[in-house]
Amino acid sequence: MSSVPSVQCHRVWTLSVEQTARLRARCRQERVSLHAAVAAAFFSEFSWIHVPVNLRPFLARPVAESFGLFVGAAELRLAYQRQLGFWSNARRCQRRLQKALRDPFAVFRLFSKAVPFERVRELGPLLVKLAGKDRAFAITNLGDLDERGLAFHGTRVSLESFYGAVSGIVKSNVLTVYTLGGAMSLYLLANESSTADCAIRDAAGRAVQLLLTALDSREN
């Protein structure tokens, strides 16, 4: 299966400090995680999303701080139901996420039973074609970097980009979410079909707008 050339594009959306605080408060009110809320917004545009999972606790032998293939991804599929409202979808997303995280090796067992090793390299494009409708998507949430001690204290240093390893596997479109200085940013690495194509970025923009609109939703 021949791969289709793509062009990497970048875009970032940054919520204000006030919007970030309101989003956190609304998530607590609705009893969903911030990650589930972000994922729910993107399920309105993407039917198949990967969420990174730390596999280290499940390995037979400890790997300490070794760098390598020790981070996997849980595959989430969810048909966003607009008639239910955003926060109902966010709760559905959270339940689906919790279920997927209970068995992070499920996808490995599925492939190891039926796929010869020499065909593994062909799996990426095939999965994108069949499951992701050519729009595989991954969301990595780094959380609150302020709480982790990553602060610049008025210096002129700034973060410009993040790069997710999952994008090197299946040419996924990767959204990296992080909060710095009290403001949450959503950084997108998109693989568009050409320099003129903005399909992924436009879809992500609609998802972000849905998330912002949900802040003022009066949904019960």
DSSP codes of every residue in 147-189:
TTT---TT-S--------TTHHHH--EEEEEEEETTEEEEEEE
pLDDT at 113 over 80: no
pLDDT band at 196 (very low <50, low <70, confident <90, very high): confident
Q: What is the pLDDT of residues 151-178, one digit of tens each?
A: 555 665 655 555 544 544 556 788 999 9
pLDDT band of 130, cuts 50, 70, 90? very low
Burial grade of 65 (CB within 10 A; 0-12, 13-18, 19 or more):
exposed
Residue 118: pLDDT over 80: no
Cα–Cα dist 144/178, whole Å: 6
Is residue 183's pLDDT more than 70? yes
Q: Is the pLDDT of residue 148 over 50?
A: yes
Q: Which residue has the tokens 């009110």?
A: 29
pLDDT-derived band of residue 49, with 50, 70 and 90 as boundaries? confident
Q: Is residue 36 part of a domain?
A: yes
Residue 31 has pLDDT above 80, yes or no: yes
Domain that holds residue 192: 7-57+71-214
Q: Is the per-residue pLDDT at 131 higher than 50?
A: no
**Domain contains 21:** yes
More confidently predicted of 127 and 51: 51
Whether residue 1 lies inside any domain: the answer is: no
Evaluate whether residue 87 is within a structural domain. yes
CATH code (residue 115):
3.30.559.30
| pLDDT at residue 132, as a whole number | 44
* pLDDT the model gives residue 59: 66
CB 211 within 8 A of CB 43: no
Total structural domains within the chain:
1
Residue 140 lies in a domain: yes
pTM of this structure: 0.77
Q: Is residue 32 part of a domain?
A: yes
Q: What are phi and psi of 131, to 5 degrees?
A: -95, -35
pLDDT value at residue 41: 97
Residue 65 falls inside a structural domain: no
- State the average pLDDT for the chain: 77
63 found inside a domain: no
